[in-house]
C-alpha cells in the first residue's frame, strides 16, 4: 500500500512539473508573414520539423520538406496544405546519412529555386549500436552533422544571393555531455567506445561549433546562422530507440515534456522574428539567447572541426 502511495505521489509530481515546464516554455509571438519566400526544412515529416513546416506554411512560405521517407512526407504535406490553405508545400528526397543524396538534393534545389530565405537543419537521429554509412561515416554523426554541414555549404551561394537570409540548426542541451571532442575520431573507430548518448551528444556539440564557425565565415554576407535547444519534446524519437527504456521515456515524455508545436517555437522564432534578423552565431533556448557549455565556445576546436568535416565530406 505504501508503494502505491509513493508511486501516486511521484506521478502527481511529474504531472505538476510537466505543466509548469510547458507553461514556462518560450513562445514565438512574431506575426511576420513569409509570403512566397522559400524555406527548406530537413526532417519535416514528424516531430518539431512537422510543426515548423505547418507554422511557416501558415505564414505563406514556400515550404520544401526535405525528407528520407517520401510517402510519409507527402501525406504530411497534404495535411499541411489542407489545414493552412497554402498549396506551396512540396516534398523532396533527402537522406542526410548519404552524402551522395545530399549532393543530388542540393543540385536539384539550385536548378529549380531562384531564392532561398531560410534553411532549417532540423533532422536528427540516434542509433543504439555503431553503424557505418556508404561513405564510411558513423550513422548518427552523418545524419546530424556531416549531412547538414555538406548541405549548408552546397546551398551557401543561393543563400547569399537571397540575403538577407537565415540558417537555423537544431542542437540540444545534451551537447554538454560531450566534454571533449576528438576531431580525428568523430566516427568512433573503436566500436567499444560507442553509445547512443555519446554519439548523439557529440553530434549536437558539433552542431553548435559548426554554427559558430559558419557565422564567422558569413560575416558581412547578410546570411545569419544560429542554433537552438528545443527543450525536452515528446517526439517519435523515443519510440525509435526500440528498447524498454525508450518506451518508458516515451510514456514519461507524454506527461512532462513539451508537445511538438511548443518544441518548435524557438526554431520558428529564429526563422521569422525581426528581433534576431541581425543576430548570428548564437545559441537559443525558449526563444532567448542562452549560454552553451564551454566546449561549444572553443573557437580553435570549431576551426579544427570545420577542417575535419571538409575532409570527410569532400565539400
pLDDT tens digit sequence for 47-105: 999 999 999 999 999 999 999 999 999 999 999 999 999 999 999 999 999 999 999 99
User: Beta partners for 289?
Assistant: 284
Report the predicted TM-score, pTM, of the whole model to 2 decimal places: 0.89
Longest CA–CA separation in the chain, Å: 68
Distance CA 270, CA 258 (A): 18
SS3 content of the chain, % helix, strand, coil (to 5): 55, 15, 35
Residue 100 cell numbers, joined: 551522395
SS3 226: strand
Q: What is the pLDDT of residues 163-210, one digit of tens each?
A: 999 999 999 999 999 999 999 999 999 888 899 999 999 999 999 999
SS3 188: coil
pLDDT of residue 255: 55
What DSSP designation does 143 have?
A: I
The average pLDDT across 21-25 equals 61
**pLDDT value for 11:** 46
Mean pLDDT of 222-226: 98
With 70 as the cut, is the pLDDT of residue 248 above it?
A: no
Nearest CA-CA partner of 87 in 97, 95, 96, 77: 77
Query: Beta strands 118-121 and 89-93: pairing type?
Result: unpaired
Active site residues: 200
Q: What are phi and psi of 44, to 5 degrees?
A: -95, 10
Name all domains of the chain by residue range, CATH numbers in brackets: 28-313 (3.40.50.720)
| Grid cell listed for 150 | 555538406
CA separation for the pair 112, 133 (Å, rounded): 28
Amino acid at each position: 500500500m505504501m508503494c502505491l502511495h509513493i508511486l501516486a505521489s511521484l506521478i502527481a509530481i511529474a504531472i505538476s512539473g510537466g505543466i509548469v515546464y510547458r507553461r514556462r516554455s518560450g513562445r514565438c509571438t512574431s506575426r511576420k508573414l513569409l509570403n512566397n519566400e522559400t524555406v527548406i526544412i530537413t526532417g519535416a515529416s514528424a516531430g518539431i520539423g512537422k510543426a515548423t513546416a505547418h507554422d511557416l506554411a501558415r505564414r505563406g512560405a514556400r515550404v520544401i520538406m526535405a525528407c528520407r521517407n517520401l510517402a510519409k512526407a507527402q501525406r504530411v504535406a497534404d495535411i499541411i496544405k489542407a489545414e493552412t490553405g497554402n498549396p506551396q508545400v512540396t516534398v523532396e528526397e533527402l537522406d542526410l546519412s548519404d552524402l551522395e543524396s545530399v549532393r543530388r538534393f542540393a543540385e536539384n534545389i539550385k536548378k529549380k529555386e531562384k531564392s532561398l530565405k531560410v534553411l532549417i537543419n532540423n533532422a536528427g537521429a540516434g542509433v543504439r549500436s555503431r553503424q557505418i554509412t556508404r561513405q564510411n561515416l558513423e550513422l548518427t554523426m552523418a545524419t546530424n552533422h556531416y549531412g547538414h554541414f555538406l548541405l549548408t555549404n552546397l546551398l551557401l551561394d543561393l543563400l547569399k544571393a537571397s540575403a538577407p537570409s537565415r540558417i537555423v540548426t537544431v542542437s540540444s542541451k545534451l551537447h554538454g555531455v560531450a566534454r571533449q571532442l576528438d576531431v580525428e575520431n568523430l566516427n568512433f573507430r573503436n566500436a567499444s567506445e560507442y553509445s547512443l548518448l555519446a554519439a548523439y551528444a557529440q553530434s549536437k556539440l558539433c552542431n553548435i561549433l559548426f554554427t559558430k564557425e559558419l557565422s564567422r565565415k558569413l560575416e558581412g554576407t547578410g546570411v545569419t546562422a544560429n542554433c537552438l535547444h528545443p527543450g525536452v519534446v515528446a517526439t517519435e524519437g523515443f519510440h525509435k530507440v526500440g528498447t524498454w527504456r525508450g518506451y518508458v521515456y516515451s510514456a514519461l515524455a507524454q506527461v512532462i515534456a513539451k508537445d511538438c508545436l511548443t518544441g518548435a517555437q524557438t526554431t520558428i522564432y529564429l526563422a521569422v522574428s525581426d528581433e534576431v534578423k541581425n543576430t548570428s552565431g548564437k545559441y537559443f533556448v525558449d526563444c532567448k539567447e542562452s549560454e552553451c557549455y564551454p566546449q561549444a565556445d572553443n573557437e580553435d576546436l570549431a576551426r579544427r572541426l570545420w577542417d575535419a568535416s571538409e575532409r570527410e565530406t569532400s565539400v
